[in-house]
Amino acid sequence: MATLLFDHDFEDYFPSMIKRLGAEGFISELCYGFQRLMDGEKGLITFESLKRNSLLLGLNDMMDDEIVCMLSEGDLDGDGALSQFEFCILMVRLSPGLMEGSPQSMEGSPESMVEDLYM
């Protein structure tokens, strides 16, 4: 699987968001982020939609290979795009604070939290 290497500073707000919003509220926020980045016709985050919306992420100088790497990091079904479920799993996996230890408001692993809310 590809590894993301960026020179951008990153502050992980996800653990504090879960404490404040709860698991369901947190997933709702991730889903809102997905909606902002997705291709409206396909219902997926595609190369084109991520490139077009990279300004929303503050990444206006992203190279095409970085976009491809981001997509491939979360693409679980190999279709070259991210579904809402894949996006949520990826965001949780990329959070050092969530992967080091689950906040008290979460039961189980971060990945199982996303799966439980989708199933």
Q: Is 38 left (phi over 0), alpha (psi -120 to 50) or beta?
A: beta
Query: Is 21 a member of any domain?
Result: no
Specify if 7 maps to a domain.
no
Does any domain span residue 3? no
- Residue 64 counted as domain residue: yes
Question: What CATH number should be reported for the domain holding residue 85?
Answer: 1.10.238.10
Q: Are 23 and 106 in contact (CB under 8 A)?
A: yes
Q: What is the mean pLDDT of the chain?
A: 79
- Residue 117: pLDDT band (50, 70, 90) is low
Domain assignment present for 24? no
- Residue 93 sits in which domain range? 42-99+110-118
- 72-86 residue pLDDT tens: 999 999 999 999 999
CA 7 centroid distance within chain: 18
As for how many domains the chain has, the answer is 1
Which has more pLDDT, 76 or 54?
Answer: 76
The pLDDT tens digits for 4-47 are 444 555 567 778 888 888 888 888 988 999 999 999 999 999 99
Q: Can you list the positions of beta strands (E) in 7-117? A: none
In a domain, residue 12? The reply is: no
Q: Which residues in 11-119 belong to E strands, given as ranges? A: none
